[in-house]
Structure 1
Amino acid sequence: MGKKGFTLVELLIVIVVIAILAAISIIAFNGIQNRGYDTLYKAT
């Protein structure tokens, strides 16, 4: 065959993995942000 490039399935797998990592990052960031707000309100 000798075709070069990525198949549709491979591209979809990469997109899904990136989406999962982005979701985990957003959830973690929101948790850190909420803890910062809690600390700020406790300090005042």
Structure 2
Amino acid sequence: LPAEAARIMTALETTTAAGLVTPDLGGTATTRQAGDAVLAAL
């Protein structure tokens, strides 16, 4: 599972770096938008 975990972490890092985060992390995206962005990055 290390490879899968690495892919998830990369997707999260890519999404966060692009600013697609929810208000609790300082962004404006909805939970759905943030989740969809992570899925798209996978």
Q: Calculate the TM-score normalised by the size of structure 2.
A: 0.45
Structure index of larger Rg = 1
- More relative contact order in 1 or in 2 (CA 8 Å, sep 6+)? 2
